[in-house]
C-alpha cells in the first residue's frame, strides 16, 4: 500500500484531516527508519493520543521491536477513539492503541474490534485539592470542577467522592469548567477546592503547592483506559501477525520499565516537552506504577465501562466483558514464559556484582490483591520512620536507591513504625511491603482503626502506624 493510496482511502472515508497531515509528516515527531535486514511485512499501527499511556507503541517503533518480529511498521497518529476504531474496521491499520470505551462502543455495534492487551487499567487521574485541604471530609460544603457532565473527569470525581462517603451534588458541588488548564487555574485562584487532574499535569499542580489526596488506583478503580485493539477478522486470518505485534509491545513495556533514561528521551520526543519534572512524574506514576508487565485487559474495568454506557445504551446491559477481549495471545505469551524470561534476565543482570552501580528502577512481580493493580510503584518508602526514633528521609528523586520488601521487613521485637501514605498505596500493598504478605493488611487496619474508617480508601498524606510483625524475619 503506497502513501497516495492510503491517503485516498482515508479521504474517501471522510476521516480526520489530522491523519492526512500525519502522512505529510506534520503531526508526529520525525522518526528514524530502521534498515531492513530481511523480509518484513509492511503494516500500519495507530495510536489515538499524545499521552504517556501511548508510550508502548513509541518504544516498540523507536527501539526496533516491530522490526525484530518481522514487521516493517509505520506509526500513525489518529486523533480520537472514533477515528482509530474506523481505521481498524477498514483494515487501514492492523492494530491500534485506543481507549477501551471506544472499543466497547464499537463492538456493541458489531464492529468486531476487540482488545488483546490492556496498558492502562485505571484512569490516570489524581484528586488535586486546595492547599488548606488535607483530608477528604474537608471537601464537604466545598466545590470541585469537572470538564463536562458525563465525561471521564465527571465519572472519576463522582467515583472518588462516593468512596470517601461524600454525596456528589449534595455534599460537594460539581462545576463544569472545561479543560485541565482551566480547572487548574480555578484551583490556584481559590474559585474551586478540588479537581481530577491527569498525569503529568499533576506535576504542575505540585509546583503550585496544591495537595494530592488520592489517585484512582488507590481507590480500587478498574477501568479499561488504554489497550491494544485488533479486528477479529485479522485474528482469524493472520494469527501469527497478531502474535508478533503483541510480542513487540510486550518487549516495549519491558524496555520502558528497565531503561529509564532512554525511555524518558523517547517520551520527551513524542510528548513534545522538556519539562523534566513532568516527565519524571509521568514515568514514575504511569510507566512504573500503572502499566503492567503482563498487559492483560481488565474485565472488571470493561464492566465498569458497560455500566456507564448502559445509562444511554440499553444493549450494554446484557453484554458481558468477555465479548470485548481476546486473551488468546497474552495468555500464550504468559504461559510460555516469554514475559517472565524478559524480567528474569534483567534480575540476573542486577544481581551481578558491579563497581559503583547506577541506581535502577525496580521491576516488581505481579500480585493480585483484591483491589490492587498488577504493577507496583518503585522507590516510594522515603516517608517511613520509626516512632521512637526519627530517621533521615530519602530524597524524593526517582533515582534514589531501591528499597526492597525484604529490607523493609521488621525483625521480631522491633518498635512499631510510622508511615505516611503515598500515591498508589493500599493496605494490602503495605502489608506486602512490610510483612511480605498481602493477607496481613488487617494487621495494619486494626492498628489504625481510629483513623481508617474504611480499609479500602486511605488518602495521600495519611499517617499510619505499621505494627511490628512477630513472625517477620
Mean pLDDT score across all residues of the chain: 81
pLDDT score at 71: 97
Mode of pairing for the β-strands spanning 211-215 and 194-198: unpaired
| pLDDT tens digit sequence for 216-244 | 888 888 999 999 999 999 999 999 999 99
- pLDDT (mean) for 95-101: 95
From CA 96, how far away is CA 85, in angstroms rounded? 8
Please compute the mean of the pLDDT values over residues 76-96 and round it to a whole number. 93
Domain boundaries, the chain: 3-122+224-339, 125-215, 385-466
- Please state the rounded mean pLDDT for residues 55-60: 97
Let me know the angle formed at the C-alpha of 134 by 129 and 135, rounded to the nearest 5 degrees. Answer: 100
C-alpha span between 273 and 416 (Å, rounded) = 43
* Burial zone of 418 (CB within 10 Å; 0-12 exposed, 13-18 middle, 19+ buried): middle
CA distances for 178 relative to 81, 125, 153, 196, 309, angstroms: 20, 15, 10, 12, 22
- Residue 151 to residue 375: CA distance in whole angstroms: 26
Place of cell 503506497: 2
Name the least confident of 44-58, 71-85, 390-404: 390-404
Quote the pTM value.
Answer: 0.70
Lowest mean pLDDT among 52-66, 284-298, 390-404: 390-404
Q: Which CATH class is domain 125-215?
A: alpha beta
Burial of 336 (0-12, 13-18, 19+ CB in 10 A): exposed
H helix count then E strand count, the chain: 19, 13
Q: How far apart are the first and last CA of the chain?
A: 62
The pLDDT value recorded for residue 38 is 56
Q: Compare 117 and 150 and report the one with higher pLDDT.
A: 117
**Which residues are registered as beta bridge partners of 385?**
418
CATH architecture of 385-466: Roll (3.10)
The Cα diameter of the chain in Å comes to 74
Is residue 329 very low, low, confident or very high in pLDDT (cuts 50, 70, 90)?
very high
- Express each pLDDT in 258-315 by its tens digit: 999 999 999 999 999 999 999 999 999 999 989 999 999 999 999 999 998 998 899 9
Please check whether the two domains, 3-122+224-339 and 125-215, share a CATH topology. Answer: yes
CB 219 within 8 A of CB 160: yes
pLDDT of 392 over the 60 cut: no
pLDDT band per the 50, 70, 90 thresholds, residue 35? very low
pLDDT at 179: 85
3-state secondary structure 268-294: HHHHCCCCHHHHHHHHHHHHCCCCCCC
What pLDDT was estimated at residue 452?
A: 86
The yes/no answer on whether domain 3-122+224-339 falls in CATH 3.40.190.10 is: yes
CB crowding 233-269: b at 16 or more within 10 Å, else e: ebbeeeeebbbbbbbbbbbbbbbbbbbbeebbebbbe
pLDDT score for 372: 42
* Res 425: pLDDT: 86
Per residue in 152-204, pLDDT (tens digit) is: 889 999 999 999 999 999 999 999 998 888 999 999 999 999 999 988 889 89
Amino acid at each position: 500500500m503506497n502513501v497516495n493510496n492510503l491517503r485516498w482511502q482515508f479521504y474517501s472515508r471522510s476521516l480526520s484531516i489530522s491523519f492526512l497531515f500525519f502522512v505529510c509528516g506534520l503531526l508526529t515527531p520525525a522518526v528514524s527508519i530502521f534498515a531492513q535486514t530481511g523480509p518484513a511485512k509492511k503494516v500500519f499501527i495507530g495510536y489515538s493520543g499524545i499521552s504517556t499511556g501511548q508510550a508502548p507503541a513509541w518504544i516498540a517503533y523507536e527501539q526496533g521491536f516491530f522490526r525484530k518480529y518481522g514487521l516493517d511498521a509505520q506509526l500513525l497518529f489518529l486523533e480520537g477513539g472514533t477515528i482509530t476504531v474506523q481505521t481498524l474496521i477498514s483494515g487501514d491499520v492492523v492494530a491500534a492503541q485506543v481507549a477501551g470505551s471506544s472499543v466497547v462502543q464499537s463492538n456493541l455495534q458489531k464492529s468486531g474490534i476487540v482488545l488483546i492487551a490492556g496498558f492502562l487499567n485505571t484512569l490516570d487521574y489524581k484528586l488535586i485539592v486546595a492547599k488548606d485541604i488535607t483530608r477528604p471530609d474537608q471537601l464537604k460544603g466545598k466545590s470541585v470542577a469537572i470538564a463536562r457532565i458525563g465525561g471521564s473527569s465527571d465519572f472519576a470525581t463522582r467515583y472518588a467522592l462516593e468512596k470517601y462517603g461524600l454525596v456528589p451534588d449534595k455534599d460537594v458541588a460539581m462545576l463544569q469548567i472545561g479543560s485541565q488548564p482551566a480547572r487548574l487555574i480555578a484551583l490556584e485562584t481559590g474559585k474551586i477546592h478540588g479537581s481530577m487532574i491527569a498525569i503529568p499535569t499533576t506535576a504542575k499542580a505540585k509546583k503550585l503547592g496544591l495537595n494530592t489526596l488520592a489517585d484512582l488506583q488507590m481507590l480500587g478503580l478498574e477501568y479499561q483506559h488504554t489497550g491494544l485493539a485488533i479486528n477479529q477478522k485479522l485474528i482469524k486470518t493472520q494469527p501469527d501477525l497478531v502474535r508478533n505485534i503483541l510480542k513487540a509491545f510486550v518487549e516495549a513495556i519491558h524496555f520502558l520499565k528497565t531503561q529509564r533514561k532512554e525511555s524518558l528521551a523517547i517520551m520527551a520526543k513524542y510528548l513534545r516537552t522538556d519539562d523534566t519534572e513532568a516527565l519524571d512524574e509521568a514515568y514514575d506514576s504511569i510507566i512504573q506504577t500503572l502499566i503492567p508487565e503482563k498487559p492483560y485487559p481488565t474485565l472488571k474495568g470493561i464492566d465498569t465501562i458497560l455500566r456507564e454506557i448502559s445509562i444511554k445504551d440499553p444493549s450494554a446491559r446484557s453484554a458481558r466483558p468477555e465479548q470485548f477481549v481476546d486473551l488468546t495471545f497474552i495468555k500464550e505469551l504468559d504461559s510460555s514464559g516469554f514475559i517472565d524470561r524478559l524480567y528474569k534476565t534483567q534480575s540476573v543482570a542486577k544481581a551481578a556484582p558491579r563497581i559503583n552501580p547506577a541506581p535502577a528502577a525496580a521491576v516488581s512481580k505481579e500480585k493480585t490483591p483484591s483491589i490492587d493493580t498488577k504493577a507496583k510503584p518503585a522507590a516510594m518508602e522515603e516517608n517511613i520512620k520509626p516512632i521512637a526514633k526519627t530517621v533521615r528521609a530519602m530524597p524524593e528523586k526517582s533515582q534514589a536507591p531501591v528499597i526492597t520488601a525484604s529490607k523493609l521487613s521488621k525483625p521480631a521485637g522491633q518498635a512499631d513504625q510510622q508511615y505516611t501514605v503515598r500515591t498508589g498505596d493500599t493496605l494490602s500493598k503495605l502489608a506486602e511491603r512490610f510483612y511480605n504478605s498481602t493477607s496481613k493488611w488487617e494487621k495494619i487496619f486494626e492498628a489504625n482503626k481510629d483513623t481508617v474508617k474504611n480499609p479500602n480508601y486511605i488518602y495521600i498524606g495519611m499517617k499510619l502506624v505499621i505494627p511490628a510483625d512477630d513472625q517477620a524475619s
